[in-house]
Amino acid sequence: MASAANAISLSASPRLAASSSSDQLVVRLQSPSSVSFRPRSELKPARLSVASRANRLRICATAAPVMDKAASPKVPTIVDVDLGDRSYPIYIGSNLLDQPELLQRHVHGKRVLIVTNETIAPLYLDKVVHALTVGNPNVSVDHVILPDGEKYKNMDVLTKVFDKAIESRLDRRCTFVALGGGVIGDMCGYAAASYLRGVNFIQIPTTVMSQVDSSVGGKTGINHRLGKNLIGAFYQPQSVLIDTDTLNTLPERELASGFAEVIKYGLIRDAEFFEWQEKNMHALMSRDPAALAYAIKRSCENKAEVVSLDEKESGLRATLNLGHTFGHAIETGFGYGVWLHGEAVAAGIVMAADMSHRLGWIDESIVTRIHNILKQAKLPTAPPETMTVEMFKSVMAVDKKVADGLLRLILLKGPLGNCVFTGDYDRKALEETLHAFCKS
Amino acid sequence: MASAANAISLSASPRLAASSSSDQLVVRLQSPSSVSFRPRSELKPARLSVASRANRLRICATAAPVMDKAASPKVPTIVDVDLGDRSYPIYIGSNLLDQPELLQRHVHGKRVLIVTNETIAPLYLDKVVHALTVGNPNVSVDHVILPDGEKYKNMDVLTKVFDKAIESRLDRRCTFVALGGGVIGDMCGYAAASYLRGVNFIQIPTTVMSQVDSSVGGKTGINHRLGKNLIGAFYQPQSVLIDTDTLNTLPERELASGFAEVIKYGLIRDAEFFEWQEKNMHALMSRDPAALAYAIKRSCENKAEVVSLDEKESGLRATLNLGHTFGHAIETGFGYGVWLHGEAVAAGIVMAADMSHRLGWIDESIVTRIHNILKQAKLPTAPPETMTVEMFKSVMAVDKKVADGLLRLILLKGPLGNCVFTGDYDRKALEETLHAFCKS
């Protein structure tokens, strides 16, 4: 096949390009040869030309790489996920749970089931029930509170959601609301996809991880003892409501875990965003509201664009899994929940970068910058010491990206912000990377 | 609202018509005022004008009400289910499992998982494995054998399918094959919908029930202890292969059970077909191959047409559930598997007809004809004696057709072959019907 490197080029203005062959897809957000932060005033006309509703931004690769400090806290930023008749808005902003109309406009029917967990329920359940019911006496709200953690993302716990829905006699016009992090969103989404063969649902993500990644795009599901997310559905929500204030109660380790996915967007397709993160990781770690809001918005824009182009992951969407194949092996081999998902992904990104460098696909400087930004975010840069080569291989063999026996990986290739999804790589590089990071 | 009766009219030629209001949908295959069996020669030109491929029939409301005795046993009849990019063919005929190309053309990737049960495996598993692999050495086939019966259509047994698929390391390009009756088709289909968020699947139904109803249309799922099919997905197969020879091994009670659905198609939308059945039920019960093939084809055509118009059951498709709301209550209240699905549906059709008559919506003569044809098919015409009014009400309250607390029913209305799906009926008639068929 033709070398993917030949397909990569630099251009003076950022734009999206993609090419594919039978077993490889090359994706790149082509970066300008020099990146500069443009003053916001320069970008206003372009923004206005694509906004059809007040304060609603269409996905736009030229969005300004600056924080939107002037935005009113009461007016959410809206990112649209464009999927034809399954399109939906992502609302992002401070204090959104105090704006009942944002939730109520997406509730169909008279019955709501909130799915949440033991950690989030005491903090936000009453607030969400109030937002759903205030001035809306026809709606009645049930809830089910699940144990908190990745290790409960299984069939037994999912059954509790079905039991509650059936015992509450919820019908096809009901709405499920996921209130919590990625585990809650994935389980509630899969329950909504399956209950009566599909009911409405709304995501209210309360962690960085779920706000920048798992709540957007319709991937739902549960784990199996032999692998992560092996059972599930592609099922899109009615809307996603991201109240950035919910991050105030998030433990620091979980905050950092979410930044692993933010860093991923920069690496796979948005070099400008990565460079912004290098300058602003300290602000993000100290929960600067404007920095958080910007990082979430830009992440959602990247995710929404990819999902709009490839909803069912026939190629492009797989690139969102940079570091995840190695990361899933860590989560599965080490026991779900010992490491957080983003921690495993961080180590996985380092391994993918190491392998990409061994293949001669990226410069040493990118490997170094990845190490540095992960350290700033207090994230791991290597797998747990107990992981063995065999543990990695055993889990990677059942990865969803295996096709007809061939493991396809997302690897970095070319300048910062470029990646490939491919099964066409030297197996020796994979062996070397696994042995470099494992003692046995 | 306007009386639905006003919307029903007779016309000289059969055609489909439908009208809907907010809570009622009227559907009718308008019958000619007098029905006569037309000689096949008269219909040939119409058939040829819609057939784009040899021996392939598009769904056609004017299909000839005669048996297709001249068709070659080696060339299957094909009914297309028209669902855009999810369209698929139903192959119907004798000896089709001996035509490997019919299966092999719909297998993607190199791995197949056959899901079957303890009754069917000894009869047909080897034959299907041979059909999948002969001349096709790249394909490897695994299988999982489930216990046989409606009471095993649950989450625990479903998990065995996931376990087998994951242990066999099947990837996204694999194909699941459902070999068995409705329970196997529903479970295998839901497993295929959920495994890795969706893999290909093929239906090989081996009972009348699954050949005329459950294998066509993409409804998949499992039961919950509180109700039937409450958890599942709409998920379409790649193809359906109906080898009518598999009916030779079907017990008589199961044969008759399937005819309940065949009778249903006549009652809800195809008066000509009902009249054909009245004349040919003896031939069907004695397994006359031509009669069976015709009844299956005509049933599939009716089902395919309804599904093509309303895949996700927003209205029209619900009419396929004539008798099923009462029937599900019998199955759930009486214990899954004590009565066969079609037996419960038969009693349910009698109850729906009784209620329709109490409402003044159909003539006494239709009630009588329903009794007579069910008796010819050795099917029940009343629920089990142990069923109580409360048992019916309790299960009917969680029926999927309840919307915002209102139970909608499929009831007969107008001349033979017409029905309505409505929540707008006198509750007294429902009470009277329940009390008429229950001792307490």
Domains A77-249 and A251-437 share a fold: no
Q: Which residues of chain B have pLDDT under 50?
A: 1-66, 69-71
Q: In the prediction, which pLDDT does B47 show?
A: 27
Active site residue A253: no
Burial of B264 (0-12, 13-18, 19+ CB in 10 A): buried
β-pairing, A227-234 vs A219-224, is antiparallel
Q: Which CATH number fits domain B251-437: 1.20.120.350, 3.90.110.10, 1.20.1090.10, 3.30.450.20?
A: 1.20.1090.10
Report the interhelical angle of B252-269 vs B271-285 (nearest 10°). 170
Prediction ipTM score = 0.81
Q: Bridge-partner residues for B140, per DSSP?
A: B111
How far is residue A47 CA from its own chain's centroid? 25
Q: Cite the DSSP H helix spans in A3-39.
A: 4-7
C-beta atoms of B198 and A233 within 8 A: yes
CA distance B292 to A147: 53
By the 8 A CB rule, do B166 and B137 touch? Answer: no
- Which of B159, B152, B155, B162 shows the shortest CA–CA distance to B182? B152
- Which of B230, B205, B238, B278 shows the shortest CA–CA distance to B103? B238
- Minimal Cβ distance to A197: which of B110, B173, B221: B221
- Which of B439, B423, B264, B286 shows the shortest CA–CA distance to B353? B264
pLDDT in tens, B377-400: 999 999 999 999 999 998 888 777
How far is residue B143 CA from its own chain's centroid? 25
C-beta atoms of A403 and B159 within 8 A: no
> Which residue of chain A is at minimal alpha-carbon distance from B396?
A169
The catalytically annotated residue of A269, A324, A357, A408 is: A324
Active site residue A130: no
By the 8 A CB rule, do B99 and B128 touch? Answer: no
By the 8 A CB rule, do A366 and A275 touch? Answer: no
Burial of A433 (0-12, 13-18, 19+ CB in 10 A): buried
DSSP run (H or E) holding A205: strand A200-205
Active site residue A401: no
pLDDT in tens, B146-177: 999 888 999 999 999 999 999 999 999 999 99
The catalytically annotated residue of B6, B42, B197, B279 is: B197
CA distance A257 to A346: 8
Indicate the DSSP class of residue A151.
G
The two tokens of residue A236 are 């899109």
- Which of B383, B301, B395 shows the shortest CA–CA distance to B344? B383
Active site residue A375: no
Indicate the DSSP class of residue B298.
H
> Which residue of chain B is at minimal alpha-carbon distance from A112?
B404
- Minimal Cβ distance to B233: which of A111, A219, A233: A233
Q: Which residues of chain A have pLDDT under 50?
A: 1-66, 69-71
- Minimal Cβ distance to A221: which of B197, B401, B403: B197
Q: Find where tokens 């910062």 sit.
A: A416
- Minimal Cβ distance to B230: which of A196, A230, A402: A196
pLDDT in tens, B108-161: 889 999 999 999 999 999 999 999 999 999 999 999 999 998 889 999 999 999
What residue segments make up the domains of chain B, in order of their start? 77-249, 251-437
Helix, coil or strand: residue B339: strand
Helix, coil or strand: residue A288: coil
For A81: left if phi > 0, alpha if psi spans -120 to 50, otherwise beta; the answer is: beta
- Which of B267, B264, B263, B260 shows the shortest CA–CA distance to B361? B267
CA distance A41 to B163: 57
Helix, coil or strand: residue A374: helix
By the 8 A CB rule, do B285 and B377 touch? Answer: yes
B70 Cβ partners below 8 Å, 6+ apart?
none
Indicate which of A170, A172, A196 best probes the interface with B, i.e. most B CBs within 10 Å of its own CB.
Answer: A196
Chain A residues with CB inside 8 Å of B403's CB?
109, 171-173
CA distance B138 to B320: 41
By the 8 A CB rule, do A296 and A249 touch? Answer: no
C-beta atoms of B224 and A166 within 8 A: yes
A401 min Cα distance to partner chain B (Å)? 7
B409 Cβ partners below 8 Å, 6+ apart?
B325, B352, B355, B401, B421, B422, B423, B425, B430
Q: Is 0.90 surpassed by the pTM of this model?
A: no
Phi, psi of B404 (to 5 degrees): 50, 45
The catalytically annotated residue of A111, A164, A297, A303 is: A303
C-beta atoms of A193 and B233 within 8 A: yes
Q: In the prediction, which pLDDT does A73 show?
A: 52
C-beta atoms of B159 and A155 within 8 A: yes
The two tokens of residue A307 are 């999902």
Q: In the prediction, which pLDDT does B2 show?
A: 36
* Length of chain B (residues): 440
Active site residue B118: no
Active site residue B261: yes
C-beta atoms of B234 and A171 within 8 A: no
Residue type at B5?
A: A
* Length of chain A (residues): 440
In CATH, the number for domain B77-249 is: 3.40.50.1970
The catalytically annotated residue of B303, B357, B408, B413 is: B303
> Which residue of chain B is at minimal alpha-carbon distance from A399?
B171
